[in-house]
Structure 1
Amino acid sequence: MPYSKSDNSRLTRLFPIIGWLKTYTRQEFNSDLFAGIITAILLVPQGIAYAILAGLPPQLGLYASILPPVLYALLGTSRTLSVGPASIAAIMIAGALTAPEVAAMGNPVQSALILSAESGIILLLMAVLRMGGLVNFISHPVLTGFTSGASLLIIGNQLPHLFGLKTPSCGVDAACYGHYFSGFVPAALLIGLTALSLLIFFGKPLVAMLKNIGMQASLITAISKCGPLLTIIVTTLAVDYFDLTGHVTVVGQVPSGFPALNLDFSPIEKWYILLPYSGFITLIAYVESVAIAKVTANFRGEKIIPNQELIALGIANLTAAISGGMPVAGGFSRTMVNFSAGARTQMAMLIAAGILALAVIFFSPWFENIPKAALAAIILVAIIPLVKLSDIVHTWRYDRGDGIAEAATLLGVLLYGIEEGITLGIMLTLVSHLRKASHPHIAVVGRIPGTGHYRNIKRHNVETWPRLLLLRVDENITFANINYIEEFIKSELRRQPDIRHIILIFTSVSDIDSTALEVLENLNHSLQASKITLHISEAKGPVLDKLEKTDFLRQLKPGKVFFHTEDAVRELS
């Protein structure tokens, strides 16, 4: 059979790379080449740092930064998202690996590979079930609260490494801390502070200096993003030169080359134990990846297809599992570096992955003496901007329900754990949403003098009529809010006993469910017994279509359905 355009379209939807390769230009390649080199500079220290943050050997972070981004480049809809080890996912992986039931089974590397495989399978199942819209079920305040809480956990986890200390286990024993702090290593502290100073200098101070001397923006980006790699080089040379390997904790041996592709992730009982952790890691990785992808896509008017992202991230995680890597997601700092460096397409990440592959093959021995204090500094500089405590105040001022959810998520993550914190935040968001849905805004309205416009009597100077009550319901009418609406009407009637006509204005009503319709029918009978007539105005077509299939409009008589509220007022007043 001949190859059809529909086949080509389906192939392009599955492999978005085909679409942009058709129009790929030399100028775009030059931009991608530059961005790829800059991003590769960041991949080495971040890959190692996030693997160690997760409690894994450094090579798992490096392996996760090579093949998974390549597969995402083939399947993903974002042209600039950098997929690989991510800070928030790393701390969640660490939480999973240190859980008593998981730790008791030993072999954390095998557990990490199972987490990668399960994450990939879950993402692909979600794609089959067309669950790309799941990203909309975690509100921005909850995600911000979670990110801030997880970032604070990471900061607390990395500060001991910065000072050359072990992770504290003193609890509330004050005397224990005196002994704990006496064990810090001055050399590690010096290396950590040196790394921190270099990274801070390569941020805003260096950028400002280079701008003042009139350097080109592309060169400024290239130089400023070399901070992490230069920090690693300087601190590693210091460890070698001063022979500090016996005093400072270093990365240790990193195998050269790549592991053999492997599909053996037994024992099966470990899969069951790790499944809940994989579910949470998958949820957060997907939501954050799509959120980051949308940020850069919006800058250029590009479109992100959530369901295709499920496929791309699912395949990327499965690839991480079989190639010996930890679970992957879109990384915020890497993506912004990639975007700022001028990346036009995923070719930049293909180039970055290729450079990293060469580094893993030929230069792995150079990674052995990288001090963990320097890696802690890199993580801290990348994580601190993600802590947005002031965001809670702004959210609270705008919407108290969202503010409570954001604050509770942050505190839940800090006090109870990552999974418990995000679950608490999602539950509070749903409770807040249900409360709003069950208490819709209902306005008693009147006419602005000299016009046909009807507005809230509490906000505007309007005309009203002693025997006429106009109510605007600003929400769909459902089982969740019909009782509230009924009580609101009865309350107004008690306040205004002379009312003889009620007009329900349905400008904001798009649906009335069966439960709400039954209550409206009973309310209409009750009003008719009290010699009060119920009317409807400005109902949408779909609402009228549903009502016409019932007896409600017949039961409404002598009440009427008015096209305009003004028509109702003229006739009834």
Structure 2
Amino acid sequence: MSSIAARLIPTWLRQYQLATLPTDVIAGLVVGVLVIPQSLGYAVLAGLPPVYGLYAAIVPVIVYAWLGSSNVQAVGPVAITAIMTASSLLPYADKGAEQYALMASLLAFMVGALLWVAGRLKLGWIMQFISRGVSAGFVSGAAVLIFVSQLKYLTAIPVAGSSLIGYLSSLQMYMRQLHPLTLLIGVIAFALLVANRYASKWVWRTWLSASSAKWAERLFPLILLGVAIILSMALHWSALGVATIGSIPQGLPSFTLPHLPDVQEALKLLPTAGLMALIVFVSSSSVASTYARLRGEHFDANRELTGLGLANLSGGLFQSFAVAGGFSRTAINVDSGAKTPMASLVTVVVMIAALIAFGNALAPLPYALLGATIMASIIGLIDIDTLKSAWQRDRLDAASFIAAFAGVLIFGLNTGLVIGLMVSFASLIWQSSKPHVAIVGQLGGTGHFRNINRHDVVTFDNLLLLRIDESLFFGNSESVHLRILKALQQYPEARELILIMSAVNHIDLTAQEMLSTLNKELAQQHKRLHFSFVKGPVMDVIGHTPLITELSGQVYLSTLDAVNSLTAR
């Protein structure tokens, strides 16, 4: 095989084993069939006609299967990108369905472009700066907004807004438009779906085996969809005022250039596209890296960026809205036996078949069922467990969760995420600004030195040993200085101060000046400053600065060397 062909054909396909084909085909068929109603619902959630949910599950899925980093991640329309699309394109809702769809494709194209550029610049490391509290708080807040937004399909009330207050206000304002039959259908469907999802132990396992109950639980939404279509046709629900999705256009998504607005409109969408790109990457990477770890595979964050970027770029050219890796569909994909991205390609075949052969069959499907499906599935994204865990173990991360969650509900998705990130970074800065500085002593006759408040150690009258457990920079240099001066006041007889730098990975200019000032202050008191365990990269930075050249004491390789040298005098 030529080098060019080797680069064009992914490794998984070049090394594909036919023995895995049956399980991949089964997994692809299962995922394809089960996510059809979900895909339709996410398109509606994005403010698009239902068929766009199927469009979004074709070209982007093919591209990610070819170029993505995960062998089992199932990419497609997801709740978060759907509601962010609807929120950002709210000003275009009254400009016609065609214009709105073109703007949704443009947004997907912009998201893809940002992800692709980030991948080329190898910015995968950004993921580690999004704390668990922020991501869980944002997703939980978005889940609440998604839940409330679907009330318009269960009640026929034109609920609209970008925040919880906006949704509830419009719900109260138009309460008289409530349609009783639509509400009845939606509530019954929602109750059945919730019971199937959260009470399957009693619903299915009392009279089915464990394996049969699992399949019954998975297939139930599809069965409910079929029953709803039959009842809608038999009872003429559309004639009674129940909104149905109508005939779905048959045929594959066509190549369509996204709508190109003027520069000002494009700039308005850019912040949303940036936040969506971040969320798409963080959520997809979380899923992909988790399964890579479980399967003993390597996860490449930069390749994930490139794969997601090209998937959304291509989707934006084929009538898709922004896509990401889905939590639930990936779990179904893996549980059904998927081994390679071939399963995703089989799922695409199912979506194509649905578009070509079953468009008219889905026409009587009530929007109330789609809304109930989204509401039932979205409950699981409200992550109370993470909040409880953070509150017990890390209050600062809990604060980030609450800030992101409350910000999303009060101000909307974009502002809420920014608020959560700001609180998270503020917490990080606050923690770094108050580093731990320990007074240490020698552990018995060993070369180990430990905190005097935690261990029975030996101290020295003429020596004060301080261990700094953080890199030194402008944000914490003053607090470290004050902590050192306080320790010197506690031990006025100490003439030699040894700063143990084993945990210090960097010393910026401000911190260097602080240590130089400390050196001069000690000299005025006829005391000396020494360093031990200075790392090589740190010494490369400070080795030729006044901090070292004018140091009153010495730099020792180890704390034991410093103690032996200074106590022998």
Asked if TM exceeds 0.5, the reply is yes
Distance 2:34 2:208 in 1: 25
Equivalent residues in 2 for 1:388-403, closer than 5 Å: 388-403=383-398
Partner of 1:111: 103
RMSD: 2.7
Residue 271 of structure 2 is aligned to residue 276 of structure 1: yes
Contact 1:38–1:225 (Cα < 8 Å) also in 2 = no
The aligned counterpart of 2:147 is 155
Q: SS in structure 1 opposite 2:288? A: helix
2:369 is aligned to 374
Once the two structures are overlaid, the 10-residue window that deviates more, 484-493 or 508-517, is 508-517
Structure 2 contact 158–170 (Cα < 8 Å) conserved? no
Counterpart position of 1:196: 190
1:548 pairs with one of 543, 547, 560: 543
Cα separation, 2, equivalents of 1:178 and 1:555: 73
Aligned residue among 304, 308, 312 for 2:307: 312
CA distance in structure 2 between the partners assigned to 1:138 and 1:469 by the alignment = 39
Residue in structure 2 matched with residue 187 of structure 1 by the alignment: 181
Q: 2:481 aligns with which of 486, 497, 504?
A: 486
Question: Any conservation in 1 of the 2:250–2:356 contact (CA below 8 Å)?
Answer: yes
Residues 438 and 93 from structure 1, CA distance in 2 versus in 1: closer, same or farther, beyond 3 angstroms? same
The offset of 1:543, in angstroms, is 2.8
Helix, strand or coil for the counterpart of 1:226? helix
AA in 2 matched with 1:147: V
State the shift of 1:364 in Å: 0.5
What are the Cα deviations for residues 91-146 of structure 1, in whole angstroms up to 9, with x where unaligned? 11110121x4x457552112111111211222222223222222222211100000
Q: CA deviation at 1:75?
A: 0.4
Q: Is 2:50 aligned against 1:58?
A: yes
Indicate if the aligned counterparts of 2:204 and 2:216 stay in contact, CA closer than 8 A: no
What one-letter code is carried by the residue in structure 2 that aligns with 1:79?
Answer: N
CA distance in 2, matches of 1:509, 1:175: 53
Q: Give, in whole Å, the separation in 1 of the partners of 2:342 and 2:197.
A: 26
Q: Which runs of 5+ in 1 are unaligned?
A: none
The 1:215/1:18 distance shift into structure 2, 3 A limit, reads: farther
1:444 aligns to 2:436 (yes or no):
no
Which amino acid in structure 2 is aligned with residue 399 of structure 1? D
State whether structure 2 residue 565 is matched by structure 1 residue 562.
no
Which segment is superposed worse, 443-452 or 162-171?
A: 162-171
- One-letter code aligned to 1:253: S
- 2:159, 2:167 within 8 Å by CA — same for their partners in 1? no
Alpha carbons of structure 1 residues 206 and 478: separation in structure 2 relative to 1, 3 Å: closer
- TM-score normalized by the length of structure 2: 0.91
Q: CA deviation at 1:495?
A: 2.6
Distance (whole Å) between structure 1 residues aligned to residue 10 and residue 47 of structure 2: 38
Matched with 1:341 is 336
> Distance in 2 between the 1:133 and 1:177 partners?
42
Answer with 163-172 or 266-275: which moved more.
163-172
After TM superposition, the score normalised by the length of structure 1 is 0.91
1:243 aligned residue (231, 236, 246)? 236
Deviating more after overlay: 204-213 vs 55-64: 204-213
* Higher mean C-alpha displacement, 180-189 vs 442-451: 180-189
CA distance in 2, matches of 1:91, 1:259: 22
**CA contact 2:27–2:338 (8 Å) conserved in 1:** yes
Contact 1:51 1:57 in 2 (8 A): yes
Q: CA deviation at 1:474?
A: 0.6
Counterpart Cα distance in 1 of 2:201 and 2:316? 39
Cα deviation, residue 198, structure 1: 3.6
Q: Distance in 2 between matches of 1:344 and 1:435?
A: 45
The CA deviation string for residues 145-191 of structure 1, in whole angstroms up to 9 with x for no partner, is 00000000011112342344432789799999788555433332332
Question: Structure 2: how far apart are the matches of 1:308 and 1:425?
Answer: 27
Larger CA deviation: 255-264 vs 501-510: 255-264
Shift of 1:386: 0.6
Task: Flag the 1:135–1:516 CA change in 2: closer, same or farther, 3 A.
Answer: same
In structure 2, how many angstroms separate the alpha carbons of the residues matched to 1:551 and 1:122? 44
Q: What is the count of residue pairs matched by the alignment?
A: 561
Residues 221 and 341, structure 1, Cα contact 8 Å, conserved in 2: no
**Partner Cα separation in structure 2 for residue 238 and residue 92 of structure 1:** 33
Distance change >3 Å, CA 394–CA 55, structure 1 → 2: same
Matched, 1:321 2:316: yes
Aligned with residue 126 of structure 1, among 118, 124, 128: 118
Corresponding residue number in structure 1 for 2:286:
291
Task: Quote the offset at 1:419 in angstroms.
Answer: 0.4
Residue 518 of structure 1: how far off its partner (Å): 2.7
Task: Provide structure 2 residue ranges, at least 5 long, that are not aligned to the other structure.
Answer: none
Question: Is the alpha carbon distance of 1:367 and 1:568 closer, same or farther for their aligned partners in structure 2, counting shifts above 3 Å?
Answer: same
Q: Which one of 204, 218, 223 corresponds to residue 230 of structure 1?
A: 223
- CA distance in 2 between partners of 1:87 and 1:190 (Å): 24
Partner of 1:20: 12
- 1:261 maps to 2:235: no
**In 2, Cα distance between equivalents of 1:238 and 1:287:** 41
Secondary structure at 1:203 match in 2: helix
1:48 pairs with 2:50: no
Of 429, 433, 436 in structure 2, the residue corresponding to residue 434 of structure 1 is: 429
In the superposition, relative to structure 1, how do residues 104 and 193 fare at CA in structure 2: closer, same or farther (>3 Å)? closer
1:222/1:341 contact within 8 Å kept: no
Question: Which amino acid counterpart does residue 233 of structure 2 have in structure 1?
Answer: D
Query: Which segment drifts farther, 440-449 or 51-60?
Result: 440-449
